[in-house]
């Protein structure tokens, strides 16, 4: 897929965001519910956490080192993604997001697939620079 096709078909999905149950290495609590979306400048993943006592810093897309989609428990109806990235201080972090809203499951799956395509485009761009 080329960049033009991505921007025509996937970027709106990423900008709208999707709801996930998040487990993050920087969170003290086990999991929290949040909406994840792409920033307007297309450089960061933003996390709007429902628990106002918890915050997750934006993740710069270019600092994501690995991204993987899986089906927890082997169930095709469940969907999640995991990523490893460097935070703004250069520290290694990890984040895992699971689809949580049954009513919006298909939309959340589409959002994860759009993010996966974005990560593939970024990886191709990184490879071209080296």
Strands laid side by side in the 59-60 sheet: 59-60, 44-49, 32-38, 18-24, 92-99, 80-86, 64-70
Integer angstrom CA distances of residue 32 from 36, 42, 51, 63, 99: 12, 24, 7, 23, 12
18-28 per-position pLDDT tens digit: 999 888 877 66
Work out the pLDDT band at 64, boundaries 50, 70, 90: very high
> What top-level class would CATH report for the domain 3-129?
mainly beta
Please tell me the pTM assigned to this model. 0.84
Work out the pLDDT band at 104, boundaries 50, 70, 90: confident
């Amino acid at each position: 897929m080329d960049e033009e096709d991505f921007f025509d078909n996937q970027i709106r999905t990423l900008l709208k965001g999707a709801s996930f149950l998040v487990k993050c290495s920087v969170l003290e609590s086990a999991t929290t519910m949040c909406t994840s979306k792409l920033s307007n400048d297309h450089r960061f993943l933003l996390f709007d956490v429902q628990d106002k006592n918890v915050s997750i810093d934006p993740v710069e897309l270019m600092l994501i080192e690995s991204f993987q989609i899986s089906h927890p428990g082997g169930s095709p109806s469940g969907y999640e993604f995991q990523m490893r990235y460097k935070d703004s201080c250069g520290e290694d972090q990890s984040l895992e997001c699971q689809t949580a809203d049954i009513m919006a499951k298909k939309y959340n799956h589409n959002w994860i697939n759009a993010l996966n395509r974005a990560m593939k485009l970024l990886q191709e761009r990184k490879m071209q620079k080296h």
